[in-house]
Every structure is written in structure tokens, then in C-alpha cells.
Structure 1
């Protein structure tokens, strides 16, 4: 591939389905815009109901989270991220995300580089998420829902 063949592209939000973040949660939904096998990066929207909590996890790379709607926090920190806020996470950070109960539905835009390791009570690795598991979840959902998938790994 030559760089001249890579063009500026737009991805229409309506062309991508919300996919349950199973097996971790059927309430938390993801919309996979890009799963980049070259950079190991995913770009997703995350939607979760008020009060939802995801397991503690560790990031091998950096994370940027922009809050579109609702409020959330990490149990390990005293700040709350609300609409319009941006959270920058360093590589090798660990935390437990929680949607603020009275903050309503949460929607965030997430740019994640590298692996997301879900941790147990003693910080043992229970599962690993990354661009590849995102593609597999998206394709499995499209097959089950009889939706024609788009190539979320391609550069258009």
C-alpha cells in the first residue's frame, strides 16, 4: 500500500451497530469505528446505563476518553468526568470505571492503544481485550444479527 492510496475518510455513525460488550456486560454497548491492526488501536463509542461498573483493568498503552453524555469516574480517583471532559491515561495504568448513578446514561468516545487486561481480585489477568478481540466481537454480532459488516480494520 502506498501512502498516496490512503484518503481522508468519514465513517457514518448510523452504519455501525451497537454491540454488547459480552461477556463482561450485556448492558454496556460498544460501537467499533476502527480496530487498527498496525497500531494496535481501537476507536469506539461506549454506552452504559447509570450505575454500571466494569471490572478493574490495566492498559498496556495510552487511552484518551472524551465524555459525550453522562458522568463517570474511577473508584481509585476522586474526580468525576462529565460531558465535554477529556481523560488522558498513561500506559501501564490500572483502574475500575464506574458510571455515576445520578449522571444518567453514559456515552464516551474512546481511543485505546494496546491491550486492555481485565483483572481479578488479586490483580490476576482474567481476560485480554484489544483490536483483534474487538473485530471478532463485531463480526460475531453482525453474523448473529444478519448485518452486513463493514471492514473496521481498513484505511479508506
Structure 2
């Protein structure tokens, strides 16, 4: 049975590539650690250059963001996340991530559940991201760069 094969494991950061977050931003990179098709959970590191604003979006599930490096905020809020801070986003929250620093980069670790829905200024859906689209982006990147993909659905 599957549960008998699941145990405590570690995934080393250097064993995974930084994949461009195209088509949204070629200078934003994702490192997927785990993509869970059952729970719709994504564990992903993201790095982006200072001065960047990402598209406004909504989450269908909760999101936890741990800031590793840099400073950022949501356009819709007054607080600023800095290294060591944890942001908790409720399901159905809508926000626009933006850098608050002039140089360097922002690095965050995200634990997302469900879909990430990108919205235009009229609240119309322009794109949807989830574990499956993240997996396809990763597999396409591996194929284009001669890398052997690992099974991101397994935590081993």
C-alpha cells in the first residue's frame, strides 16, 4: 500500500532547477519541491528581482508564504514582509504582490492549496495555475534543457 512507502524524507534544494514563470514573467523563477495532485498542494520557492509587480490574483485555497530574502507586500495592504516573516492568506483572498526594495531579489517559500487565478482589471479570469500547470512547466523545462525530471508528486 502507498502509505507504507511514505516516510520522512528530504529534498535538497540544489537538486531542483529554477524554472522561469512564463508566460507571466521571464525574470521570475520557480523551484517546485512538491506537487500534490490529491490535495492540490504546491510547495514552491519563488525568486523575483526587486522592483517587480506580479499580476493580481485570487487563491481558491489557503497560502502560506515564508520570506527568505528581500522585502515585499501586497498592493492592497500596508504591511511589508521581510526575511523571516510568514504571511497567511485565506482562501478567496485577492491581491497584487509587489517588491518594496530598489535592488537585489525577493526569495519566498510558498505552500499553496488549490488554484491560483489571475485576474484582469475587470475581475475577468485571464489564467489559472495549479499543481498540474506547474508540473507541465517543470516537465517542459526539463525536456528543453536535457534534464531528467524527478517525480514531484512524491516526497522522497
TM-score, length basis structure 2? 0.97
SS in 2 for 1:143: helix
Q: CA shift at 1:53, angstroms?
A: 1.0
Number of residue-to-residue matches in the alignment? 156
Matches within 5 A, 1:46-61: 46-61=46-61
Q: Deviations over 1:16-49 (max 9, x none)?
A: 0000000000000000000100110000000000
More strand by share: 2
- Uncovered stretches (5+) of structure 2, i.e. residues with no partner: none
Q: Deviations over 1:31-88 (max 9, x none)?
A: 0000100110000000000011110000000000000000000000001000000000
TM-score, length basis structure 1? 0.97
Partner of 1:133: 133
Q: CA shift at 1:102, angstroms?
A: 2.7
CA RMSD of aligned residues (A): 1.0
Contact 1:50–1:100 (CA under 8 A) maintained in structure 2: yes
Following superposition, which runs of at least 4 residues in structure 1 exceed 2 angstroms of deviation?
101-104
